Amino acid sequence: MSTSYLIKNAAILGGEPTDLLLQDGTIQQIAPGLAADDAVEVIDATGLVALPGLVDLHTHLREPGREDAETVDSGTQAAALGGFTAVFAMANTEPVADTAGVVEQVWRLGREAGHCDVYPIGAVTVGLQGERLAELGAMADSAARVRVFSDDGKCVHDPVLMRRALEYVKAFDGVVAQHAQEPRLTEGAQMNEGELSGRLGLAGWPAVAEEAIIARDVLLAEHVGSRLHVCHLSTAGSVEIVRWAKAKGVDVTAEACPHHLLLTDELAATYDPIYKVNPPLRSAADVEAVRAGLADGTIDIVATDHAPHPHEDKDCEWAAAAFGMLGLETALSIVQQTMVDPGLLDWAGVAERMSYAPARIGRVADHGRPIEVGAPANVVLYDPGATRTVDPSESASLSRNTPYRGMELPGRVVATFLRGKATVLDGKLA
Amino acid sequence: MKRHLLSAADLSRDDAELVLATADEMRSLADRPIKKLPALRGRTVVNLFFEDSTRTRISFEAAAKRLSADVINFSAKGSSLSKGESLKDTALTLEAMGADAVVVRHGASGAPHLLAHSGWVRSSVVNAGDGTHEHPTQALLDAFTMWKHLGESKPGGLEGRRIAIVGDVLHSRVARSNALLLRTLGAEVTLVAPPTLLPVGIEGWPVETSYDLDGVLPKADAVMMLRVQRERMHGGFFPTAREYSRRYGLDGKRMAMLQDHTIVMHPGPMVRGMEITADVADSDRSVIVEQVTNGVAVRMAVLYLLLGGSEPAVGGEE
């Protein structure tokens, strides 16, 4: 029989402290002053906020193919430590997750690891080549039950192919998650295009290359009546376009990454490729606009774009380095610092952006549920009063490419429960 | 001076004028029967070139040898960008050999910066051209050449002088370094190019810009023509080489618009017939060959000052 947990004095979504009994995989009782019996483990959650288990719609677990950077096991450990109970694994593995076989492998590895639920994302096109549709239906019908499709890392730039993908996935209530990057406008691009890229002599990644694709895609989604998800939106212009599309009634959702809520392109002046990411770090004005968009709901969710890379791919010249940064273990702290502490979001808003909405977009029923009696016991206990200094060597990820190295961040995940089973206790893997 | 020379922005006005004055002393050596100084005897200078550049490499090599330094040429063509030996491993090798200064040419912008700040090497790092970023010793030799012709070789000699830099500014490390250094020295810089060859955000640079070469030429005290690679045509930056030359090339007719004292410069290698015609390149106004001579003197000054030459460079010891 699995352990039952009695959580004492937890502030659900930052509300009045109460007790929660997690038993048999579900939340059995919620009330102040619940009595403990010998069979339960009691956790004192005084001062802690209880949130629904977080859901990340955008994670790179690298397996199969790049097990030197991350595995499903190590990546989901990092996820659990970050308060996540479910992650969606991007398709740009080797081989690409473009068949039922590969997505079932990733799904099975996730179940075996057991640190959080893993929902594979299927590639939109064969080999991410942008030429013809992968067998989306086979992936949807597989044991992995794929509902989110993305060529992330590459843009589905052919407008006809994008239209077909948007239409086709309607048959199984899927969604296309677009990596919005016009390829011709970003050939050789290294950083945000602006005055700084000109000074540093690094080829620019202009905002318009993202915005032009988002504008096209919302119009396509409207035309064919499909739903569209925009990955890692990073510019003020993108926020405006999504806001406009939503006002028109287009079925579009959008995500922002923690690093685009905090870091700016000025960091490229170090030439340290730890700050090299795609889409690139943008201007301070863009960061402000993304925060405002996340606060007012234009941007639906926070997703990490957790992108592990081995040391040698970051310990080199900027142009030679890989794009991407770690994110799972720091996401909630960054959201607290950039959104909660300044008063842009309350904890209910965090639950919506980091749990309910990503689960809705990904069409998973057992995650992203409010903390209430009868719901699956997917719960995270978080101490917003703690501070910590980020030490890359402490990460559960196999990679060390965090841009927050040495930074003091607020908050700490104390415990994570997946269907009533502790995956993290006292801030450590259980 | 700082320990490294990575960007022209690393130089204060005093630093830059010290380099010019020191280079002037070095230059005088060329007229002596023995062209060698003992200043860097026992020191090792490594020329680390990840890109072919024979002229820059031999200029640094001559400079180091005239200061009696030991010179090692390390040609590592095919950097980590093309999955060869990584910059890091190359740097660790050099460190193990005990280099005092590393002169680095690299196709990736920021590679010298990385070398200087990574902790891989303890030596001074001199940027000999990185990607489309900077080429500070080229800017110093250009400034030195202007200072000899237009500034009477005096401190502050370039104050208020008008310098036109013409051509592919977008891809030019020479233009970036020149714009920064010439501003530091008080000159007024105008960058002239078709709009496609000016970087985004150039409004924030401390320079004027113009699309109209004919409007700029009559006021200029020096005109520097930048090389335009024919490949740019395929990138769609301009329609044809002929159209580029018509609008932005310096030919005899345009040269006639210049003031009597105005000099014509080019960092080389030239594409004759593209950005500059042969009659202009070979005219009396052209100081292009002199730039090469000055390059050695300026690089001597830079190596001497970076490697802690506190004694007067010329005179003494012999």
Q: Give the domains, in start order, of chain A with CATH numbers.
A: 4-49+374-429 (2.30.40.10), 53-362 (3.20.20.140)
Interface test with chain A among B10, B86, B92, B109, by most A beta carbons within 10 Å: B109
- Is-cis flag, bond preceding B38, omega within 30? no
**Pair (B117, B193) in one structural domain:** no
Cα separation, B11 vs A386, whole angstroms: 44
Is B88 at the interface with chain A, CB within 8 A?
yes
Q: Contacts of residue B202 in chain A, CB cutoff 8 Å?
A: 195, 198
Range of the domain at B37: 8-135+292-306
Would you call A198 and B205 a contact, using CB atoms and an 8 Å cutoff? yes
Is B123 in the same domain as B143?
no
Residue B112 and residue B61 share a domain: yes
Q: Which of A196, A204, A315 sits opposite B88 (nearest CB)?
A: A315
Q: Does one domain contain both B154 and B96?
A: no
Q: Is residue B314 part of a domain?
A: no
Q: What is the mean pLDDT of residues B62-84?
A: 79
pLDDT confidence of residue B30: 76
Contact list in B for residue A193 (CB cut-off 8 A) is 200-201
| Per-residue pLDDT band at B83 (split at 50, 70, 90) | low
Neighbouring C-beta atoms of residue A427, cutoff 10 Å: 15
Tell me which residue in B88, B134, B203 faces A201 most closely, judged by beta carbons. Answer: B134
Residues B144 and B282 in one domain: yes
CA distance B114 to chain A (A): 7
- Residue B289 CB: number of other CB atoms within 10 A? 11
Q: Is residue B318 one of the residues assigned to a domain?
A: no
CA–CA dist A245, A218 (Å, integer): 6
Instruction: Give the pLDDT band of residue B197 (cuts 50, 70, 90).
Output: very high
One domain for residues B186 and B281: yes
Q: Which amino acid is at A420?
A: G
Contacts of B83 (CB under 8 A, 6+ apart): none
Instruction: Give domain status of residue B205, yes or no.
Output: yes
Helices (H), A83-170: 100-113, 136-141, 159-168
* Chain A residue with Cα closest to B173: A201
- Greater confidence (B51 vs B77) lies with B51
Q: Which of B87, B106, B201 sits opposite A195 (nearest CB)?
A: B201
| Helix, strand and coil in chain A, % to nearest 5 | 35, 25, 40
Write down the catalytic residue from A117, A152, A305, A383.
Answer: A305
Q: Which residues of chain A neighbour B131 with C-beta distances below 8 Å?
A: 201-202, 319
For residues B280 and B159, membership in a common domain is answered with yes
* Closest residue of chain A to B197, computed from CA coordinates: A198
Place B85 in a pLDDT band, splitting at 50, 70 and 90: low
User: Are residues B282 and B149 part of one domain?
Assistant: yes
Write out pLDDT tens, residues B13-53.
999 999 999 999 999 887 888 889 999 999 999 999 998 88
- Check B205 against A196: CB less than 8 A apart: no
pLDDT at B231: 73
Least-confidence region, from A169-178, B77-86, B135-144: B77-86
Chain B residue numbers touching A316 (CB-CB < 8 A): 80, 86-88, 114
How far does B146 lie from chain A, in Å, by closest CA?
24
Confidence label for B159 from pLDDT (cuts 50, 70 and 90): very high
Same domain, B130 and B218: no
CATH number at residue B24: 3.40.50.1370
The distance of A390 to chain B (nearest Cα, Å) reads: 20
The pLDDT-based confidence of B315 (bands split at 50, 70, 90) is very low
**Which of A197, A201, A317 is the closest to B80 by Cβ?**
A317
Residue B313 maps to a domain: no
CB pairs under 8 A between A and B: 82
B196: closest CA of chain A, how far (Å): 13
Q: What residue spans of chain B are helical by DSSP H?
A: 13-29, 54-66, 87-97, 111-117, 136-150, 173-184, 213-216, 231-234, 241-248, 252-255, 278-281, 288-306
Report yes or no on B47 lying in a domain: yes
Could A200 and B203 be called an inter-chain contact, meaning their C-beta atoms sit closer than 8 Å? no
Q: Closest partner residue to A320 among B108, B117, B205, by Cβ?
A: B108
Same domain, B28 and B166: no
Q: Which of A271, A314, A318 has the most B C-beta neighbours within 10 Å, making it the best mutation to test the interface with B?
A: A271
Nearest 5 degrees, angle CA B298-CA B304-CA B305?
A: 90
pLDDT value at position A262?
98
Pair B149, B122 in one domain: no
CA nearest to A294, candidates A249, A358, A374: A358
CB atoms within 10 A of CB B74: 17
B89 in reach of chain A (CB within 8 A):
no
Based on the fold, state whether residues B279 and B158 are members of the same structural domain. yes
Instruction: Note the pLDDT of residue A92.
Output: 98
Per-residue pLDDT of chain A (430 residues; tens, 9 = 90+): 578 999 999 999 999 999 999 999 999 999 999 998 888 999 999 999 999 999 999 999 999 999 999 999 999 999 999 999 999 999 999 999 999 999 999 999 999 999 999 999 999 999 999 999 999 999 999 999 999 999 999 999 999 999 999 999 999 999 999 999 999 999 999 999 999 999 999 999 999 999 999 999 999 999 999 999 999 999 999 999 999 999 999 999 999 999 999 999 999 999 999 999 999 999 999 999 999 999 999 999 999 999 999 999 999 999 999 999 999 999 999 999 999 999 999 999 999 999 999 999 999 999 999 999 999 999 999 999 999 999 999 999 999 999 999 999 999 999 999 999 999 999 999 9
Q: Does B1 touch chain A (CB under 8 A)?
A: no
DSSP A324-371: -B--TTTHHHHHIIIIITTTS--HHHHHIIIIIHHHHHHT-SSSS--S
Supply the DSSP symbol for A36. P
Q: Which of B88, B200, B204 sits opposite A204 (nearest CB)?
A: B200
pLDDT number for residue B279 = 96
Residue B312 counted as domain residue:
no
pLDDT band at B79 (very low <50, low <70, confident <90, very high): very low
Taking alpha carbons only, the member of B151, B227, B212, B152 closest to residue B182 is B151
Residue B3 lies inside a defined structural domain of this protein = no
Check pLDDT > 80 for residue B311: no
How many domains does one find in chain B?
2
In a domain, B37, yes or no: yes
| Average pLDDT of the residues of chain B | 91
Whether residue B189 lies within 8 A of chain A, CB to CB, comes out as no
Task: Establish whether A305 is a catalytic residue.
Answer: yes
**Rounded mean pLDDT, B107-113:** 95
Integer Cα distance of B231 and B64 in angstroms: 34
Helices B136-150 and B173-184, packing angle to 10 deg: 50
- Chain A residues closer than 8 Å to B206 by CB: none
Q: pLDDT band for position B318 (50/70/90)?
A: very low
* Whether residue A410 has a cis bond before it, omega within 30° of 0: no
- B113/A195 Cβ within 8 A: no
CB A420 within 8 A of CB A26: yes
Query: Model-level pTM?
Result: 0.94
Do A201 and B86 make contact, defined as CB atoms within 8 angstroms?
no
User: What does the pLDDT read at residue A189?
Assistant: 98
Give the separation between CA A418 and CA A423, rounded to whole angstroms: 7
Q: Which of B81, B127, B200, B205 to mutate to test the interface with A (most CBs of A within 10 A)?
A: B200
